[in-house]
Structures are given as structure tokens and as C-alpha cells.
Structure 1
Amino acid sequence: MSGQAGPSTAERWQALGVLLLGAAVIGLSPILVRLADAGPAAAGFWRLTFALPLLYAMTRQTSAGPGRPSRYGLAAGLMFTLDLGFWHYGISYTSVTKATVLTNLTPVVVTAFAWIFLKERPRALFLAAVALAVVGAWTMAAAKGAGRPGPNEPLGDALSLTTALWYALYMLAIGEGRKRETTGRLMFWSSAVGAPLLLVAALAFGERLLPGSPGGWAACAALGVMHVAGQGSIAWAMGRLPTSTASVVVVVQPVVAALLGWLLFHEILGPLQALGAAVALAGVVLAQWASRTKAVSPRSPAAP
């Protein structure tokens, strides 16, 4: 593996475009969770359940099927279960904007892990870009009137902030797994692991399991399609980009979520939030610029 060249410039830009698309699609997630008309963990269960048939079909197109789960698929499934559980409860207790922004402080954790354990030492400019993106995201969350107040904002904020850790570990597992296996197989097993765990959590917490309206069912089905399109795109791109770079790019999610929260739920998007969004996006652009001249760690990504 180490003797092969990394992706070309054209492949890198293609991966970046797919990553941005996936991050924008995932920005729909908190909106659909609000519309799902089911419990927080139950919404996560339906998201993965509706996604599984599509992911199975994907594995049949790119390989002989899902095969046996790898340790990376199992680890990604466990981390994503914790990610969805904490995040969906965070969304139910605080605003869409704050829940999404706090969750996407992930780049700090990913950069530290990649530096310490994966030997992906970042440049000083890249660290500055991470800081800029995080400051922008934090400004969006901390601004007065950042979204419609939730029933228990301190709890919701704490759950959303903890989600950043689980999402970071999920991205690291996906990044390592993509060096060895296809997107479809990795996504299938991470979802197959997560669905029953979220079902158990929903039953344990006494949640409403079945959506209470046709619109709720539609939102749950849309969550499944969004999962395949959004997380699938992110996983595919992570086979061609450094994990730390990918983690910064997905900071566009809170910008999308904030705009949708403003349009659909009339959550206030004030001047400070707009400034925070601009700063966060500037950090994303700077991170990509800072990493484009640095040689990518050689890898031989699995086929899509």
C-alpha cells in the first residue's frame, strides 16, 4: 500500500466536491428529525433501517455483497449509534442551529487524534484554519437568539457537544476503513450495527417508536435516503482525502442547518450568526488551501 501514489489533483478536487455535497445533504438531518414525529433514538433507528436496503443494493453493485463486517465497520457502527443518540436528544432539547453547530466542533478532536495516533501532522496554517472554523461555528451557537429556545438548552447543548466526540471517532473509523474496503460495505455494516442498538435505546427510554403521522413516516424515509446520499458521499470522499481535512470541510453542515432552521422553523438568524457562518466557511476554505500543497499520506483507496 505504501508504495502507491496518493490521489491526483483532479481526484482530490472531485473528492472535495463530493464531500461538500455530502455535508450539505447531512445539514438536512436535524430538520427531518424534528419532523419525524417519533422519539429521538427511534428517529435514528428508522434512519438506518430505511437506509439498509439501499446500502445493500450498493454493495451488490460494487462487489459481491456486504460480506463479513470488519472491525472498522463495527467500530463505525458503535460510534455512529452514540453520535445519533446524543445528537437527536440534543436536537430535542435545544435549537436546531446550536445542536448542529456544537456537534460540528468535531475538527478539533479529529485533528488531535489524527496528529497523535495516525501521524498526520498538520501544518500551522491548517491549525489556524481549524481554529477559524471552530470560532465561526461557536459564534453561531453562542450568539444571542441563536435559534428557537429548546425546553432544556443546557442539557441539549451538553449532549450536542458530546456528540462531537462520537462523530470524530466515527470519522476516524470511516477514514481508516476506507483504506481497506468499499464505501457500500463499510456503510452497510456501520448501519446494520447501529439500527438494533438504537431500537433498544428507544424501547429502554420509552420513546414513541412509530411515527404518529404520514408526514412523520415520510421524514423517516427521507432520513434514510439522506443517510445514504450524505454519509455515503462523505465516506467515499474520505477514501481520497486526509481525515483531518475532511473533518473541517463538514463544518458547512451547521450553515445549511441554520438556513433551513430559519426558513422552516423561523429560528432567528441574527447578524452574529451570519458572521459566524461566514467565518466558519472561511476556515473551511483556508483549511483546503493549507492542505492542498502538502503531500497526502499515500493510500490505495478501495473501489467506490
Structure 2
Amino acid sequence: MVAAYLLHGGRGVSVSAHRRIVLIAIIGALIISTSAPLVRLSDVSPATSALFRCAYAVPPMLLLAWLERRRLGPLPRKGLLTAWAAGVVFALDLLFWHHAIDYVGAGLATVLGNLQVFIVAFAAWGLFRERPSNRLMISTPVVFAGVVLISGVFDSAAYGSDPMMGVLAGVATSISYAAFLLLMKGGSDRAAGPLAHATVVATLAIALLSPLFGGADFVPSRPEHGWLVVLALGPQVLGWSLITFTLPRQPAALTALLLLIQPMTTVAISALGLGERPSVLQFAGCAVIVLGVLYGSRRAQPPVDVAPAGLPAVSAEGMRPRQ
């Protein structure tokens, strides 16, 4: 991936590179945080933005996959099939999430997207016998109380065209994204190849599923597609690559803390740049979710000095960015 060539050509990272790893993680989180605002700025239908953010990302991702293949050889058949399956659920993830942005705004939709950490944890418990930590068990009902606050059930001043539908789309996003992470976990220890295959399949799946999600406009236009190109090359390719590189190279608690930059920054960008004004109760719901995810994703573990390159495993306490 991109950052692998910034630090020792993709080899294991020494302790002396720790500050650079943290800096790369922060940069990646800041880049990822612009994803939902860019969707809003493109001002196209949710299916259109989902389709082209993948389509425009395919060429650079194929280049990264080709570079990885030169170093490591062809992707094993199991990894290939799993990546294709992951691409299908990734398509659902993007379609639901872009609808959540449409219903409840970029900031709140991004906060809702971070619920996947809990869904992954309990799914991994059933599939891989990875029991969630006590912290995660305690924080789960607290976090979903935050979801209720965002939904506007008790709030006549709730922000969004349809807050309840926004929450439902956000939860569906998290379920789809959790399935994507679990498939990627069981497929291959590589990064660029599986991601490239998943992105190609996601592009095709979104095109086929788009009629069920309001339809997509297949004709590029300006300036809308200028924003979509920035979305694809920035958050989709560069941001994802940087974050994926840093995840296995630092403790889970530090990863969770750094990745919380993403939803908080998105809420700030959306409020300042897009004029989104969630209600007091919705802001409280955001705070509850962010603090609950931080608390639930922490666990005591020894510091890691050196970690292998490639796609990180997804543990019950692992936390991944909203794409």
C-alpha cells in the first residue's frame, strides 16, 4: 500500500518509526473524515456517489495491487473468492451509508458508521469464538442509547430530512461493513490485492443494485464528478491505504483514540462547512457513541515493536475507519 513505500519499502517497522506511524494514522484519519462531506458536496443521488467513488478508485487500486503482486506473487484462490464476496457487501455498505448521509447529514451518518466495532465483536464471538471484552459488553447498551438520541425519537428539533430513516440506514451500514471486515479477515493477509478486487466487484454490484436504491446517473457531469474524483482518490484510496498500513503497527487503544479523530472531525467539518446543525440531544448522542466506542475498544495489551506488513486482522476490540 502507499505508506508501505514510505517506511522501509513495506517491511516491518522499528520502534524508531513510531512517531511517523502515528503521524500517518492521524493524516489518514483526517483524510477519511472528508468522505461524507464530499458526498454531500457532490450533490448527486446516493447510488451515483457510491458507484463513482468506487469506479474512479479502481485504476490506482489496481496499480497498488500490481505492485503487491510483483513482490508477493498471485493472490491465492481463497483470498480472491473472499475478496469478491467482500465486494458485494461493501457495495451494500456504501449504498446504505450514502442514504444515511442523505437522511441525517454527513456528520451524524459518520458517527453512526462507527457502530460496526460492536457488530464485528459479537459476530466474531459467534464465528471465531473471540469473546468480547468486558469493556465492550458494558459499553454496548450505552452506545445504542446514543443511537436512540440521534434518531430524534424524543426530539422535535432533530436535524435531518428523516432522522429515523437515517439511523436505520446507519445501522444497516454498520452491519454491512461488519460483514465486509469479517470476510476480509478470513480471506488473505494481503492488503492491496483483496481491496482492489473488492472495489471492482463493489463497482459492478452497485451498478446492478442501484435501481433498488433510487437509481444512479451513469453520465458524468461537472462539477459534481469533480467532487467524486476527489472522494475516490482521497478518502477511498489514499486515506484507506494510510489507515490500513498503520493499524497492525500500534496498540489497539492508541488506534481507537486516533481513529476517533474521524467522526469528530467530520461533525466539525459538516457544521462549519455544510451548515449542518444537529440538535442538542443529537450532539449528546454523538458524544455518547464516541466515548462508548473509545471505552469499548480499549484493552490492556503489551506494546508492539515490530509488526508485519499487510492487511490487519479484525479482532473484537479492533476499530476500523468509516470509509
* Pairwise CA distance, 1:54: 1.2
Distance 1:125 1:92, change over 3 A: closer
2:271 aligns with one of 259, 262, 268 = 262
1:58 maps to: 64
Contact 1:48 1:194 in 2 (8 A): yes
1:25 aligns with one of 31, 34, 38 = 31
2:224 maps to: 216
Q: Secondary structure at the match of 1:53?
A: helix
Contact 1:175 1:243 in 2 (8 A): no
- The CA distance in 1 between the partners of 2:50 and 2:74, in whole Å, is 24
Aligned length: 294
Residue identity matched to 2:93:
D
Residue identity matched to 1:50:
Y
Matched, 1:104 2:105: no
Matched, 1:186 2:194: yes
TM-score for both structures, normalised by structure 1: 0.76
2:310 maps to: 302
Distance 1:176 1:62, change over 3 A: same
Distance 1:147 1:77, change over 3 A: farther
Distance 1:147 1:174, change over 3 A: farther
Q: Secondary structure at the match of 1:292?
A: coil
TM-score for both structures, normalised by structure 2: 0.73
Distance 1:207 1:303, change over 3 A: closer
Unaligned runs of at least 5 residues, structure 1: 1-5
After TM superposition, the structure 1 stretch with the greater mean CA deviation from structure 2, 124-133 or 78-87, is 124-133
1:3 maps to: none
- The CA distance in 2 between the partners of 1:122 and 1:13, in whole Å, is 30
- The CA distance in 2 between the partners of 1:203 and 1:52, in whole Å, is 22
Residue identity matched to 1:189:
H
Q: Quick one: percent identity of the two aligned structures?
A: 24
Q: Secondary structure at the match of 1:63?
A: helix
1:172 maps to: 182
When the two chains are superposed, the root-mean-square deviation of aligned CA atoms in Å is 4.0
- The CA distance in 1 between the partners of 2:309 and 2:280, in whole Å, is 42
Unaligned runs of at least 5 residues, structure 2: 1-11, 313-323
Matched, 1:202 2:214: no
- The CA distance in 2 between the partners of 1:64 and 1:281, in whole Å, is 40
Per-residue deviation, residues 138-173 of structure 1 (Å, max 9, x unmatched): 5455484787421x4433332222111001111222
* Pairwise CA distance, 1:190: 0.8
2:236 maps to: 227
* Pairwise CA distance, 1:208: 2.5
- The CA distance in 2 between the partners of 1:288 and 1:13, in whole Å, is 22
- The CA distance in 2 between the partners of 1:166 and 1:247, in whole Å, is 20
Residue identity matched to 1:27:
S
1:78 maps to: 88
Contact 2:158 2:282 in 1 (8 A): no
Residue identity matched to 1:261:
S
